[in-house]
Amino acid sequence: MAEPEKLSLPWRQHVPDVAAAPPIPPPPVKERSCSVRMSAHDFERLGILAIKSETTRQQLLKDALAQFLEAKAKDFGCACLGACNSNCGRDV
Ligand SMILES: [Zn+2]
């Protein structure tokens, strides 16, 4: 195993300015929830599909939402649908 390099840093003369500190990274984006009411029949069918697909109702709904939003985005100029993170200039 290599010896760790000996560091000979000059003694710090001053505390660095606050402005020179690296920017604080944005907090991680939280997922939001939105409950969906459905018929008992659909609920049962979703449960059967979840078992057959070895997943959960929640995941099936998330997948369906992703497909829906992707299809809707084709009607707009940007996949943001007006809630843009890249400032495409579209408003809802
Ligand atoms: Zn956009």
The amino acid present at 29, given as its one-letter code, is V
In whole angstroms, give the CA distance from residue 67 to residue 83. 17
pLDDT at residue 38 in the model: 96
Ligand 1 mean position, distance from CA 74 (Å)? 12
How much of the chain, in percent, has pLDDT values that exceed 70? 75
pLDDT digits (tens, 9 = 90+) for 48-70: 999 999 999 999 999 999 999 88
Ligand 1 mean position, distance from CA 61 (Å)? 24
How much of the chain, in percent, has pLDDT values that exceed 90? 40
> How does pLDDT run along the chain (92 residues), one tens digit per residue?
555 566 565 666 666 666 667 778 878 888 899 999 999 999 999 999 999 999 999 999 999 999 998 888 888 777 888 888 777 876 55
Predicted TM-score of the model (pTM): 0.59
CA distances from 59 to 8, 37, 40, 52, 68 (A): 54, 16, 18, 13, 14
